[in-house]
Each structure stands twice: as C-alpha cells, then as structure tokens.
Structure 1
Amino acid sequence: MDFEIINGDIASLETECIVVAVAPEGQLSPSAGAADSASNGYLQEILSAGDISGKNAQTLLLHKVPGLKARRILLLGIGKAEDRNNRSFRKAIIAAMSVIKSTGISQAVFALDDALTNDSDAYRQLRHLVEWSGQELYQYDETKSKKADPLKLEKLSILCAEDDTDLAEQALLDGTAIVNGTSLARDLGNLPPNICTPTYLAEQALELDDEFEALTTTIVDEEEMAELGMHCLLSVGKGSEQPSKLIVMQYNGGPEDDAPHVLVGKGITFDTGGISLKSGDSMDEMKYDMCGSASVFGAMTAICEMALPINVVGIVAAAENMPSGNASKPGDIVTTMSGQTVEILNTDAEGRLVLCDALTYAGRFNPASVIDIATLTGACIVALGHQASGLLSNDDQLAQSLLQAGEQSADRAWQLPLWDEFQEQLDSNFADMQNIGGRPGGTITAACFLSRFTKEYRWAHLDIAGVAWNSGKSKGATGRCVPLLTQYLLNQSATEE
C-alpha cells in the first residue's frame, strides 16, 4: 500500500473516497467547506438533518455527492475543539480506516486539514495520520494455513496546500518508516516461540544487514560470551536447548568519530520462569517477553529507512528461559561481565540478568546515551496500567528527552524515582547483590539492579511490560515503543546536525 501527498481542488479530485472532517453544530473543516460549496450546500443539509452530529469518531459515508468527481465522501466527526487531542485524533483515524477497509475501496484521500487535534505542529499531525492509518492495515497471518485476503486499499493520499508540500512529504516519509518499523516489531512479537528463537532473531538481524548498507550486524555466540565473562546472561539460557545470542547491529549514519546512541533490548523469546516456574494461566503470552528486542529491531529499521545522520547501536540479549536439570537454581551465584556477582533468588527475574551483561558490553562503544527496553516487571503494570511505559534514568536530561519524545510521538512514558534508598533492597549476604528486592517498588528495584552496570554513561530504562502487547480478543504485539525511540533519535539527529 502506497502513501502520497497531493494538491488541488477537492471538487476535481477523481478518487474512490474523500475523507473530510465535521464538528458539532454543523461546523465544517476548510476542506469539508469547499466540498459543501461545490455541492451547493449538500453536506450542510446532511448535517442539518442530524444524520451525523460531528461527535468524535462518528462516520457517515455518502455516495455520488453532486458537484464532486469523487465516488464517495466520508464525513468524519472530530468533536469539539477543546476536546481534541492525540487520543481523539487516533480514534477518529481508526474509525475512518474501519469504513475504508470494510467497503473495499482501493484508493482514498484524507482531506482533514489541521482540524483533528489541538497540536499546532503540522508535521507531527501529518506524520501521525500516516502512522495510525498505516498501522490499521497491519494483519498477521504468518502461521495461518489460510492467508488473509489481500488488502483492496492500494493507495492513501493526503491532500495539502501546495506551500506545505515539502513538509508533508517529509512527514510522510518519516511516518512510513515508523509504520514499517512498528510492523516488524509486531511481526516478531506475534511469532510463536517455536519459530522466534534467539537464533531466529540473529537471522533477522543478518537480513537487516543485507538490506541496509549503513548497517553492520555481529552475532556473539555462547562460546564468545563465556570468553567475555557474560556468565549472568548465559545463566538464563542454561536450561534451554536453544543457544543464547548477543546480537549487535551497528548503524553508521554519522561521522565515524561521533559517539553512538545505544539501544539495548531484552530478548527472552519464551519465559517459563525457569525453576521458579510461572503459573499456567496465560503462559502463552510469555512469547511477548522479547518485545523489548522487537522494539530495537523496529527502531533500527526506521532509522535506516530515514537515513538519519547519526550513529546508533542496537544490542539484543536473546535467550530462552526454560526449566531443566541444567537450569539455574534459586540460590545460584553467577559472575557478571563487569566482575560483580549476583545471587539468583528467583529465576523468573531473568530479564535483568541478560540485560546487565548487555549493558556492560554497551560501554565499549563509549556511548552518547544508552536506553534499555524490556518487558521487565509485572509491578510496572500495577503502577502504570497499560497506558505508559515506565521510565527510570541516572540522568535527568536524558529522562526529559525521552519524556518529550514520548509526548511528541504519542507513545508516552512516565518517570519513576531511582533513589539510593531502594538499592538496599538488593543487599545479599552471599554476593554483591541479589536479583530481586521483594514486592515493594518492584519496578524501581529492577532498575536499581540495572543501574549498577551503567555508572560509566548516561542511561535510561524503559519498562514496557504494560504496553508491549494486548490480551483478550485483540491479543497481539503493539510495536511500542518504536515510535518513542525513533522520535528520540530523530531529536538527537536534529540537535547534532
């Protein structure tokens, strides 16, 4: 499916459907007003009859509107001006795309002007339009015998003023890159664990290497990890027949001597809990425990397509956490790559065990910043629900940059404290630290654990346990936080340029 930017008079557009915005009390957006004038007040007559009130996300599809060359016009309610925000914007786009998909339209034009949100940034509005409409076209059928019917929608156009074309084209290109990155993250997350193994993730990274000239992938195997002293990461995969992998993707878009920004993803391709076995309820959803790594894959794909003029390293710590006679046991003590020792009191707190060695490895790149992304703690779901990623950092400026990127991308995070008082909960009688700190402040103590391996650089942790996938009828990976990470890197690119 293709996106394009077009200019012109709405009345003369030859297309299968034009989407225009209407508000309560018969208010029409500029494009809707132009269509109404061309039709001699036909749209206003429809509104006056009460067929649509203009409430947000309401839709009304009209055929053969007089004065317009388009076969259909879709009236899209956008609500009152004071109630418009990113949430209502996205709901409206989802509603419009639902109608477009259900009617078998092959070509549609969005002529929504700047009416859908109170955000004055036209670039961001247009990019979100591309992102959210594109994401509504996502379908997963990789493991189904009957593949989904091909999408009938072949082209989505966005009508804009000629003076805004350059801005709109950039928004379209960036939005498309984020859609592609998010879709890859969703695909990886949705794959079953018998397919999406650490080795499979390594193969996908090598495919990205082949696809993008600026990307170089290195796979560190278990033997090399042992030589590096990454015994903490290796301890997690001991119970599995699937070998663990450390996947390193280096994107070189900036000057060679520029310090890179590093993304580190938790890649537990299935998490049984190990010897500290989880309950059977919804254990199938533990295939999503690699969604942190999926977001790294997605962000790396997006920045490669955008050709950002910066350097970025994506690191994925991939392992499968299984119980067996060879698995790590509660009470085991292992030595990390940093030389610090860890008493494993709970083998189900394994994400921090793979991440700590990956974070130590990240230090060799002398990074400008390091961000790890992980479905790390159920406590984060209790604290923040399914709306925001948890954010903790050893650098306030970095934290603010990520919070800002979350607001800009509508992929929000919320900062939690990283106070020294919480560190005491990790004290061990037998090692430098234990891998759990008890129930109180579970998300914070998990980040405290990671912070002990990040003292040499600016670091932030994103706990995406509550946002990485949906359960129930809409079960599936969400692709978060690809938009947030990509926006952060876009901002860094603009700053460095």
Structure 2
Amino acid sequence: MEIRAIDTPLLDWTGDCLAIGLFEETEELQGDVAQLNEKFADALKEIIEETEFKGKEGSSAVTRIGGGSPVRKVFLIGLGNQETLKLDNVRRAGATVARLAKKEKCKTVGVNLPTANNDPAATVQAIAEGVQLASYQDNRFKSEPEDKGFCVERVDLLGFAGQEAAIARANSICAGVNLARELVAAPANEVTPITLAETAQKIAQEHGLQVEILEREDCEKLGMGAFLGVAQASDLPPKFIHLTYKPEGTPKRKLAIIGKGLTFDSGGLNIKAGPGSSIEMMKMDMGGAGATLGAAKAIAQLKPDVEVHFISAATENMISGRALHPGDILKASNGKTIEVNNTDAEGRLTLADALVFAEKLGVDAIVDLATLTGACIIALGDEIAGLFSPDDKLAQQLAQAAEAAGEKLWRMPFEEKYFEGLKSGIADFKNTGPRGGGSITAALFLKQFVKETPWAHLDIAGPVWTDKENGCNNPGATGYGVRTLVHWVLSQ
C-alpha cells in the first residue's frame, strides 16, 4: 500500500472512493463538502438522512455515486465532538477508512480529515498509522488467505502536501508494531528463545545495531540464578538478548528497554490448569519481548540521537524432572535470594536479572514491559496497561508518550507497605505475595533489582491481545507498547 500526502483539492480528486470526516455537531454541510454534495447531486445529504448519520465517533456511512462520476463511492466518517478532537481520533478514523475500503473493494482512496492539535505532521502520522495498522492481516498459518488477495493500493491524504517525513515515521513505527504482532501471535513451536534471538540478530544485521546473545554459560558466569531457575526445565536453551542502537556522535541520553520473553508459560509445577487458566494462550507471554524488538526495529529506522539498549531474558517455563520446585530458593545476579512460592510467577524472576544487567550499563532510565499479572487485568481490564514507577518524571513522560501514541495506560499506586506481603522467613523475599494487590506486589518485587536508576514497569497483560476489532487493532496480537516506547525515546 502506498500512502501519499497531496494538495489535490477535495473537489478535484478522482479514484475509487472519497472518505470525508464529519463532526458530531455539524448540522449543515459546509465549504468544500457542501460543494461536493452539489456535484454529486445531493448524494451526501441523502445518505446522512437515510442512515441517520450523526457524526458520532466510530460511526460511518457509505454511498455509491452514479452518473459516470470520477469517484465511485463516498465514505462518511464520524469524528465526534470537534472541541475534543485528538490525534487518536484521526488515527481511529484512518483505521475505519482502511476497513471500509477493503470491505467495499476500493483500490484507491482519498481521505479528507481535519488537522488535530494544530499539528499537520502529527495528524498525517496518526492517519497513516491507523490505515496501516487496521490493514494488517496475519495469514501466515492459513492454507488459503481469507482476503483472497484483495488489497488497497493507494491512500491519498488530501490537503497535507509536504508531509512525507510524517508518513515515513508512520511506516517505521507500523513495521515495528507488525513485527511485535507477528512474534506474539505465532505459536510456541514457531517462536522459541532460539528464534527470538535470531530475530534480534536479523534486526541488527538489517539496521546496523549491535547485538549480543548470552548463552546459558554466560548467564551462569554473571550469576543470573533467577533467570536460569525458570529456564532449567526446558529442553530449549535460554537466550539473553541484548540489542544496542547507538546514534552517530555523542548520545543525549542512554536508555534501556526490557521485555519479558517467556515464549511459553506452562506455569511450571504450579501448572496452569482448569477453566480460565488460558494455558493455550501462553504463547503471548513474550508480549514484552515482542514490543521491545518491535521498538528496536522502528527506532533503528528513525535514528534518534539517543542510545537505546533492548534487552530480553528469553526462555520457556516448562515442566520436567529438572523443574523448579515450589519452595526452592534462587539467587539473582545482585545477590538477593528469592523463595519461589509459586513457579507460575516466573516472569518477574527473569526480569530481575535483566534489570540488574541493564542498570550496570549506566543508563539514564529503564522501562520494562511484561505480561506480568492477571491482577492487572482485574484492575484495569483488557485495554489498559498498568504503569508503576517511583519516579514521577519518568511516569509523566510515559503517560505523555502513550497519549500521543494512542495506547492506554494508567499509573497505579506504588504502595511500599505492601512489600510486607513478600517477606520470607528463609530468604530475602518471596516471589509472590497475598492475592490482593497482586500487580502492585509484583512491581515491588521488581524494584528490589534496581538501585538508583529511574525505572518504570508496564504491566501489559491486558492490552497485548484482543478478541475483537478494536480501534486500530484487528482480533489477535496488538503489538501494544511499540508506539509508546518509540514516542518516549523520540521525546528524550
């Protein structure tokens, strides 16, 4: 698909279909849209009346234009209230256009949407993201594609000439999101610790990043007992992935992004069993690693003047004669001892050693992403990630990045008192606490492995996957986190 920013007037554009955004409070068609309605013999007014189209956000209407018109169809796209128009409104509108164009079999589409936030470049980027993300279809594991080969060939963004750089940014970000989607959606027999490391090596090769893959022996030398404890039952070797993007010249900042990389989580000897255990979906327990590698792919193309380290301790959590027992004690690479009272709370163990590794790099800030707790889904539902951080400045940066990216997150309380629930009689602490506040105690556990560096934890267990069409996402893996991470890095 080609996306172009052009200056062709609305009345002069020709192609298969025109998509026109209308606000909720619009009572009469105005300006170029009113003239277009006259040109099309009142077709727009008729479809508004027939469908009772009110311009509500997310709504749409389609009409065919007859009489040998150079435009075959018109899409009306509801934008909601004009006063509250944000970038994510136009991003979602772009997604609606893409879905309608595919459904109506329109190969060429003209898009007439307003500027959001008085920022033409950001508006173009948002629309282009919405179009591309909603067009994504994962047919890798089907013998016959469902779309039968049809695809939209060209999308023209009218009135935005000169914004090619914004489209290029959108292309890079969407490439990262779609990589994350593919990694998370692939089954555990396709994406393993080995193939995850190979993906990192491929990104490094294609985009000029440095890559280091630590094998089991390397991790043993570094004392990564928490990570290796989780990995010990799997027949597949663990892989500690470290990708580094370095800009030309002296970087303004040095950052680390860590993604939980459990390519399959059986729960270990505390096996996931019974209704609601979702063991069949545990291929997505590497959603943090997927987002981390997706962000690496995007950032390598965008080339900010910030150094970024992308890290994932990749393994499976399996069951065998070598499996970690409930009650075992592990020693992490910072010397802290952990009583494992639940082998299904394994992600925080792998992140523990990754956090210690990242801080030793001397970075200015660390962000980790993990499908860490079901408790966060109970608290925030399926669409919102939990943000935990003792650092107000970093938390605010991430909240602003998520807002710009159109990804929902909510800052959760960092209640130090709850750490009492993690205390152990025989080790420094346990890996799980009481049932109540489980996402908070998980974050407090991770905090024990960061000494001084500003750090934030994103629990993305909910939004990493969707079962329905939602905004820019189709059912399946969402690639959640990539856009927020990229916006965060670019804002430094």
- Tell me if TM exceeds 0.5: yes
Distance in 2 of aligned mates of 1:475 and 1:14: 33
Helix, strand or coil for the counterpart of 1:326?
coil
Alignment RMSD, CA only? Answer: 2.3
Q: Does the 8 A contact of 1:23 with 1:54 survive in 2? A: yes
Distance in 2 of aligned mates of 1:472 and 1:38: 38
- Residues 159-188 of structure 1: CA deviation (Å, up to 9, x unaligned): 125xxx34x323212222111111110000
Quote the residue 2:79 is aligned against: 78
2:135 aligned with 1:137, yes or no? Answer: yes
Deviates more, 1:286-295 or 1:399-408: 399-408
- Residues 32-68 of structure 1: CA deviation (Å, up to 9, x unaligned): 2452354465534554566644343333333346796
Distance in 1 of aligned mates of 2:221 and 2:51: 73
Distance in 2 of aligned mates of 1:47 and 1:427: 63
- Residues 269-325 of structure 1: CA deviation (Å, up to 9, x unaligned): 000100111115431111100000000011111111212222111001101000111
2:272 aligned with 1:274, yes or no? Answer: no
State the one-letter code of the partner of 2:140.
E
State the one-letter code of the partner of 1:488.
W
Helix, strand or coil for the counterpart of 2:491?
helix
Q: Does the 8 A contact of 1:59 with 1:75 survive in 2? A: yes
Quote the residue 2:13 is aligned against: 13
Deviates more, 1:361-370 or 1:2-11: 2-11
Structure 1 pair 206–314 and aligned structure 2 pair: CA distance change class (3 A): same
Aligned length: 484
Distance in 2 of aligned mates of 1:327 and 1:46: 64
Structure 2: which 5+ residue stretches go unaligned? none
Structure 1 pair 49–198 and aligned structure 2 pair: CA distance change class (3 A): closer
Distance in 1 of aligned mates of 2:63 and 2:358: 56
Distance in 1 of aligned mates of 2:467 and 2:61: 31
Please report how far the alpha carbon of residue 80 of structure 1 lies from its aligned counterpart in structure 2 after TM superposition: 4.1
Distance in 1 of aligned mates of 2:21 and 2:66: 16
Quote the residue 1:361 is aligned against: 357
2:483 aligned with 1:489, yes or no? Answer: no
2:263 aligned with 1:262, yes or no? Answer: no
Q: TM-score, normalised by structure 1?
A: 0.91
Please report how far the alpha carbon of residue 155 of structure 1 lies from its aligned counterpart in structure 2 after TM superposition: 1.5
For 1:191-210, list aligned pairs within 5 A: 191-210=186-205
Please report how far the alpha carbon of residue 97 of structure 1 lies from its aligned counterpart in structure 2 after TM superposition: 2.2
Deviates more, 1:86-95 or 1:187-196: 86-95
Q: Does the 8 A contact of 1:333 with 1:342 survive in 2? A: yes
Q: Percent same amino acid at aligned positions?
A: 35
Structure 1 pair 85–28 and aligned structure 2 pair: CA distance change class (3 A): farther
Helix, strand or coil for the counterpart of 2:15?
coil
Q: Does the 8 A contact of 1:35 with 1:68 survive in 2? A: no
Quote the residue 1:300 is aligned against: 296
Structure 1 pair 49–197 and aligned structure 2 pair: CA distance change class (3 A): closer
State the one-letter code of the partner of 1:218.
E
Quote the residue 1:99 is aligned against: 100
Structure 1 pair 52–320 and aligned structure 2 pair: CA distance change class (3 A): same
Structure 1 pair 30–450 and aligned structure 2 pair: CA distance change class (3 A): farther
State the one-letter code of the partner of 2:272.
K
2:211 aligned with 1:211, yes or no? Answer: no
For 1:322-333, list aligned pairs within 5 A: 322-333=318-329
Structure 1 pair 10–332 and aligned structure 2 pair: CA distance change class (3 A): same
Structure 1: which 5+ residue stretches go unaligned? 493-497
Q: Does the 8 A contact of 1:240 with 1:320 survive in 2? A: yes
Q: Does the 8 A contact of 1:273 with 1:347 survive in 2? A: yes
State the one-letter code of the partner of 1:442.
G
Distance in 1 of aligned mates of 2:35 and 2:484: 36
Structure 1 pair 491–29 and aligned structure 2 pair: CA distance change class (3 A): farther
Q: Does the 8 A contact of 2:95 with 2:133 survive in 1? A: no
2:144 aligned with 1:153, yes or no? Answer: no
Q: Does the 8 A contact of 1:253 with 1:308 survive in 2? A: yes
Distance in 1 of aligned mates of 2:77 and 2:65: 17
Distance in 1 of aligned mates of 2:280 and 2:253: 40
Quote the residue 1:395 is aligned against: 391
Quote the residue 1:252 is aligned against: 246
Quote the residue 1:188 is aligned against: 183
Distance in 2 of aligned mates of 1:34 and 1:367: 57
Please report how far the alpha carbon of residue 472 of structure 1 lies from its aligned counterpart in structure 2 after TM superposition: 7.0
Quote the residue 2:282 is aligned against: 286
State the one-letter code of the partner of 1:157.
D
Distance in 1 of aligned mates of 2:468 and 2:110: 33
Q: 1:124 aligns with which of 122, 127, 132?
A: 122
Please report how far the alpha carbon of residue 30 of structure 1 lies from its aligned counterpart in structure 2 after TM superposition: 5.0
- Residues 70-123 of structure 1: CA deviation (Å, up to 9, x unaligned): 333222233443565566545544433222001222211111133xx6x44333
Q: Which runs of 4+ in 1 moved over 6 A?
A: none
Quote the residue 1:495 is aligned against: none
